[in-house]
Amino acid sequence: MIKAASFKNYRIQEFIQFISNTLKIVQRHDPAKLKIEAWVSELTQQHGQLEAAFKQDTFSDITPQLTQLDDERDQAIVCLRKLSEGYTYYPDETLSAAGKKVMECIDKYGNKLYSLNYGAETATLKNLARDLQTDAECVAALKALRLEALVQQMNATNLKFEDLFIERLEESVQYDGKTTKELTQLTTEAYRILVQYISAHALLTPSDKYSSLINLINENIEHYNQLVERRKSSSEAEADTTAESETTPAG
């Protein structure tokens, strides 16, 4: 039985390498004799197109600019939250209340906005900026704390990121008429069809060749699934540390 790969949690480069490993494993077991040659050929074709499209995206001049803007907006929201939270402990009641109001507005969208994926963070920060700049109480709170410029900077950076992200989509548009997302979906489907045929042949005509192939495929799957789990554990531990430092007042 072939295990399930956690594709939705793989990063694109991990997915590409995962498929590359799978193809190498299968090729060493003589696809023709295993009667899976056509499906290996289909997966090889889809994987090749996806890899080429990814390289095209990676070497785009826009990619490093996006990374820089993403870092800047992350820093802005973290700074806004930390400064606002700091004011909640201020002895002046007016400033303390202002800090609590801004915190309330931010936390409505979550306390780890910097960890969202590109699309989710863009949409969330747009909504947050709108609330902070249109809600009368939030506007007054930001003015009292003198944080209006920080919110304006965060919003401007986020809007630049959104425009540039769309520009990159248009630039990479297409590899052989398809987007990277579409190519990923096609590669995933080709992989699933291949493993279905391997599993079916192994069930109907069991042999050591199929058993060996399935064991190696499972080892590859387990390796990448564990990589995802380690990353999730590391991210959760880091987030917990950050949250603790943000919510613990200075002694």
Q: Give this prediction's pTM.
A: 0.56
Q: How far is CA 47 from CA 20, 34, 167, 180, in A?
A: 8, 21, 25, 11
CB-CB contact of 14 with 224 (8 Å): yes
247 within some domain: no
* Domain final residue pick, 145, 172, 199: 172
Confidence of residue 116 (pLDDT cuts 50, 70, 90): confident
Confidence of residue 133 (pLDDT cuts 50, 70, 90): very high
Pick the range with the lowest mean pLDDT from 62-66, 87-91, 185-189: 62-66
251 within some domain: no
Q: CB burial class (10 A; 0-12, 13-18, 19+) of residue 21?
A: middle
* Nearest partner of 73 among 125, 119, 138, 139, judged by Cα: 125
Mean pLDDT over 89-101 rounds to: 96
Name the token pair of 87: 């004011």
Statement to judge: residues 199 and 235 lie in one domain = yes
Mean pLDDT over 122-144 rounds to: 96
Statement to judge: residues 48 and 69 lie in one domain = no
Mean pLDDT score of the chain: 88
Confidence of residue 111 (pLDDT cuts 50, 70, 90): confident
> Within its chain, how far is the Cα of 156 from the centroid?
22
Q: Which domain holds residue 48?
A: 7-58+179-241
User: For the chain, what is the domain count?
Assistant: 2
Q: CB burial class (10 A; 0-12, 13-18, 19+) of residue 14?
A: middle
Q: What's residue 179's pLDDT?
A: 76
pLDDT in tens, 194-249: 999 999 999 999 999 999 999 999 999 999 999 988 887 765 555 444 444 443 33
CB-CB contact of 7 with 42 (8 Å): no
CB-CB contact of 136 with 37 (8 Å): no
Counting every residue, how long is the chain?
A: 251
pLDDT at 172 over 70: no
Mean pLDDT over 70-82 rounds to: 95
Q: What is the Cα gyration radius of the chain?
A: 24
| Portion of the chain with pLDDT greater than 90, in percent | 69
Statement to judge: residues 119 and 49 lie in one domain = no
Mean pLDDT over 150-170 rounds to: 91
Statement to judge: residues 149 and 187 lie in one domain = no
Q: What's residue 62's pLDDT?
A: 81
Statement to judge: residues 168 and 81 lie in one domain = yes
Give the C-alpha separation, 8 to 38, whole Å: 26
Statement to judge: residues 52 and 83 lie in one domain = no
Higher-pLDDT residue of 241 and 135 is 135
H-helix segments, 28-135: 37-58, 62-87, 93-107, 118-134
